[in-house]
Amino acid sequence: MPNTPEENLDEKLIAAQEFQKTQLASKLNWLRAGVLGANDGIMSTSGILMGVAGATTDSATILLTGVAAVVAGSISMAGGEYTSVSAQRDSELAALEVERAELAAQPELELRELTWFYEEKGLSYGTAKAVAEELTAKDALKAHAEAELGIEIGNHASPMAAAISSFVAFSAGGVLPLVAVTGPWVAQRIPVTVIAVVVALIITGYVGSKIGGAKPLRPILRNVVISLASMGITYGIGMLVGHPIA
């Protein structure tokens, strides 16, 4: 029996809303990853630079170290992200292949499994079975992938996109302390760098908390305290190495 115009409208509305939710979730995930990457770039690069600045006042040495830290850190972040996302993608595809084989070999058992899943969600047996049968008739693999595995078919993360995003985010974050510590304000390079890093971490902590729906104070304090501790410790080590006590 064909759907009524009202039912067709409802289906289109639901589909549009689900599409928007999926797109928004994807964008928020990438934005969150970008903020975290920038945060890592700021913290790790500033720690390295402060250590070198504690050991020497030579601007060329500090600049060279900073550039090396940003480049190496960006490549490392990109490589790690590529490996991680590739492993996740491979695992998802392997799980889908297993599920596809199980559906072909024992469809009745898989239908009962899907029914049980919706029973666990709170539906009665009759309703759960009707839902499972309707979803199975439409797309069995999709139904089982989303219910059992939490995988949305066709919406797998791209390892290359993740790697590029991490590389850009880390580089952008790392450039800030590099500019601050190698600027023309040589006599004030340490306080300028500290202030720049703290302000940047307040911004990334605030944005990250808003994306995650958390209160901003704790993430901001965590960012700032860890970074200040890192810069202080590495600066102290640099002072001891560069100017050893007689």
The residue behind tokens 């064909």 is 2
Q: What is the dihedral of CA 193, 196, 199, 203, to 10 degrees?
A: -120
CA-to-CA distance for 174 and 162, rounded, in angstroms? 18
| pLDDT in 10s for each residue of the chain, 246 residues | 455 555 454 444 444 444 444 444 555 566 667 788 888 999 999 999 999 999 998 999 999 999 999 999 999 999 998 998 899 889 989 989 999 998 999 989 989 988 998 888 888 988 989 989 998 898 989 988 888 888 888 777 788 888 888 899 999 999 999 999 988 888 899 999 999 999 999 988 888 787 777 788 888 898 899 999 999 999 999 988 886 654
Q: What is the pLDDT, as a whole number, of residue 12?
A: 46
Find the farthest-apart pair of alpha carbons in the chain and give their distance in angstroms, rounded: 93
Q: What is the pLDDT, as a whole number, of residue 9?
A: 47
What is the Cβ-side half-sphere exposure of residue 92, based on CA atoms within 13 angstroms?
A: 18
Structure tokens at 217: 């104070």
